[in-house]
């Protein structure tokens, strides 16, 4: 089995708004916790529990991100497109979690970890950077 690649946060992942960056860092931490559980072969249901936590936190983060985009004055079509991407990502996380539950072999779990890593980094670097010029002007906590 290939070695699982941990995510090391770096400034290129920053959207310039500390509130959202902290949430992105927490998502990275959850994915890294998944890697750690898989690497050390912890109890069989632990990766699934971590995926559940990832799903719940991702949904909260997506709502906050969409609110930040609206408060920052992002174009409405950009916000709607981002919401649609988030809906697809949640479906994908659920699909991955289901696969991990039915096949928690080391290989399947490593593939799940790789998928989560790609999903998170590609979403931040591709999708989220599109709204960065707007939300980087926000300061302080997100007030809904």
Residue 109: is its pLDDT beyond 90?
no
Dihedral in degrees, nearest 10, Cα atoms 124, 125, 129, 132: 60
Does residue 10 lie within any of the structural domains?
no
Mean pLDDT on 35-60: 81
Residue 104: is its pLDDT beyond 70?
no
Rounded Cα–Cα distance for residues 113 and 80 (Å): 29
Does residue 2 lie within any of the structural domains?
no
Rounded Cα–Cα distance for residues 35 and 57 (Å): 17
Does residue 141 lie within any of the structural domains?
no
pTM recorded for the entire structure: 0.88
Contact between 54 and 31 under an 8 Å Cβ cutoff? The reply is yes
pLDDT in tens, 51-88: 888 888 999 999 999 999 999 999 999 999 999 999 99
Does residue 20 lie within any of the structural domains?
yes
Domain count, the chain: 1
Does residue 142 lie within any of the structural domains?
no
Does residue 25 lie within any of the structural domains?
yes
pLDDT computed for residue 86 by the predictor:
92
What CATH number is given to the structural domain containing 49?
Answer: 1.20.120.50
pLDDT in tens, 112-130: 888 888 888 889 999 999 9
Q: Would you place residue 133 in the very low, low, confident or very high pLDDT band (cuts 50, 70, 90)?
A: very high
pLDDT computed for residue 144 by the predictor:
58
Residue with tokens 């002007």: 137
Q: Which domain holds residue 118?
A: 16-135
């Amino acid at each position: 089995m290939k070695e699982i690649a941990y995510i090391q946060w770096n400034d290129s992942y920053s959207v310039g708004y500390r509130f959202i960056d902290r949430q992105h860092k927490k998502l990275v931490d959850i994915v890294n916790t998944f890697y750690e559980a898989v690497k050390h072969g912890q109890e069989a249901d632990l990766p699934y529990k971590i995926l559940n936590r990832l799903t719940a936190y991702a949904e909260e983060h997506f709502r906050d991100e969409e609110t930040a985009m609206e408060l920052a004055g992002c174009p409405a079509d950009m916000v709607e497109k981002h919401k649609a991407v988030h809906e697809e990502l949640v479906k994908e996380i659920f699909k991955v979690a289901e696969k991990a539950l039915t096949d928690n072999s080391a290989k399947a779990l490593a593939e799940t970890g790789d998928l989560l890593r790609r999903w998170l980094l590609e979403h931040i670097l591709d999708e989220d950077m599109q709204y960065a010029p707007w939300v980087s002007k926000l300061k302080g906590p997100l007030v809904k």
